[in-house]
Amino acid sequence: MKKVITYGTYDLLHFGHIRLLERARALGDYLIVGVTSDDFDISRGKINVQQSLMERIEAVRATGLADEIVIEQYEGQKIDDIQKYGIDIFTVGSDWVGVFDYLKEYCQVVYLDRTQGVSSTEIRSKENALRFGLVGDTDVINKFALECRNVNGTAVVGYLTLNPELSKDGLENATAYDSFEALVSDTDALYIRSHPTKHYDQIKYALQQHKHVLYESPLTLCHAQAEELFRLADQNGCILYAGIKTAYSTAYARMILMAKTGKIGDIVSIDAVCTSLQDDLTKKEMQHTWNSITAWGPTAMLPVYQLLGTECQEKHIVSRLLDGHHRFDTFTKIDWTYPHAVATIKVGKGVKAEGQLIIGGTKGYIYVPAPWWKTDYFEVRAENQSQNKRFFYQLEGEGIPGMIASFVKSVTRNKLAYIGEKISLEIVRTMEEWHSGRFTSI
């Protein structure tokens, strides 16, 4: 019996895939199809595959062309599979000519002509084509625009900034707007990275116009306003999505899941530190610059609220203010007491400390080295060092492409919320406390 194997993502299964499978099957008597796992696709740079692994497997199964389906999970697995299943022929489309010649050592390699004029990338682009408008004053806007190019089905059509010196990187094909209303009218979705004091008015307007919004957290500085925005998004069928990029890094997401499954026992303490230094600010600049609590607070609070929940018993905030300026903290420390756990975050823009995250539990602890907000690596440590485990997951574009892809999927397919509404609202509540002066000043 001649055994044939072929691999692919098979996202949004199309005619080109079916023709490939038919011809692969005709090469032998038994066809094995390897479908890529989500992680494997992410690790090789395919970040916005629309369908889940199970959906893609089901689609391949439904063609009736595969005798067996396997999941491709790691680099080099093809060699393993060929040996394990006793494969005679390895085949893929001609877009891969030459790439798999190294397999000739193990079996026959056949490149089949690719069907012209159809690809998953093209279907994704046509399906989604989400037109983004960007609002903000720092190079985060440029990074966002550049990363959009890696997420097919998105286009940055325009931007609005108060910063006349904002570079054009990534924005070469976008129009500079001077009216927010005009930008909203010309786009499907907004990425709002303006100063948090402007978020409420801008996001409310965008939602009223039935536009989707990805905002840089915090949503607003007032809890009642944030609730109103979530209600409005719901009423108007819009996605209102928190853009804390750390949340979209694979390593961070896996680390949170691992902590939740009890790997380190009951969680008893969380310590998160996020700091950066910045040049001296004039009083005027301070009005436009994000202070420590708004710039770093949402990221630092994320693991606290994700792991311990939003119902704490006590919260205490201490801040060091810049020259007694009540709007700008160079450093803030927040302590939470929960019924069975405690948490502390330290955030600073003007004070530097080791930016690590430590989650302590009754059976061990999780350690994420600095800078933990760009997580690609973490360790689960036990009392007995030989039981320590290390985990690494490639971080793409600081989490920005994953964040955009997740938002796009939410808009076009089904609503996913990596950061739930409850957590977003609790972040705002803490912001409101600080901005209404409920902290001890040092």
Interacting residues toward ligand CTP by CB under 6 A? 8-11, 16-17, 20, 92-93, 95, 114-115, 118-121
Closest distance to ligand CTP from the beta carbon of 96 (Å): 6
CB closer to ligand CTP, 267 vs 408: 408
Q: Which is nearer to ligand CTP, 120 or 424 (CB)?
A: 120
State in angstroms the smallest separation of the CB of 88 from ligand CTP.
Answer: 18
* Residue 71 φ then ψ, to 5°: -105, 130
| Tokens linked to 29 | 């008597």
CB of 21 to ligand CTP, least distance (A): 8
> How far apart are CB 99 and ligand CTP at their closest, in Å?
11
Which is closer to ligand CTP, CB of 90 or CB of 407? Answer: 90
* Of 93 and 360, CB closest to ligand CTP: 93
Nearest to 21 by CA among 122, 114, 120: 114
Q: Residue 161 has which token pair?
A: 């900034």
Q: Which long-range CB contacts under 8 A does 224-232 form with residues at least 24 apart?
A: 225/200, 226/424, 226/425, 226/428, 227/425, 228/204, 229/200, 229/203, 229/204, 230/421, 230/424, 230/425, 232/204, 232/207, 232/208
Least Å from the CB of residue 216 to ligand CTP: 29
The count of residues in the chain is 442
Residue 312: CB atoms within 10 A of its CB come to 18
- Residue closer to ligand CTP by CB (options 104, 326) is 104
The order of strands in the sheet holding 189-193 is 175-176, 154-160, 130-136, 189-193, 212-215, 240-242
Q: How far is the CB of 271 from ligand CTP (least distance, A)?
A: 41
* CB 252, CB 375: distance < 8 Å: yes
Asked if the peptide bond before residue 196 counts as cis, ω within 30 degrees of 0, the response is no
Distance in Å, CB of 124 to ligand CTP, minimum = 7
CA distances from 270 to 125, 200, 215, 335 (A): 41, 31, 26, 10
Q: Please give the residue whose beta carbon sits closest to ligand CTP in the complex.
A: 93
**Cβ closest to ligand CTP, residue 114 vs residue 315:** 114
CB nearer ligand CTP, residue 41 or residue 188: 41
- Our CB check for ligand CTP shows the closer of 118 and 351 to be 118
Q: How far is the CB of 89 from ligand CTP (least distance, A)?
A: 13
How remote is the C-alpha of 361 from its chain's centroid? 26
Question: Token pair of 424, please?
Answer: 């977003």
Residue 216 DSSP symbol = P
What are the DSSP calls for 101-156, one per residue? GGGGGTSEEEEEPPPTT--HHHHHHHHH-EEEEEEESSTHHHHHHHHHTTSTTEEE
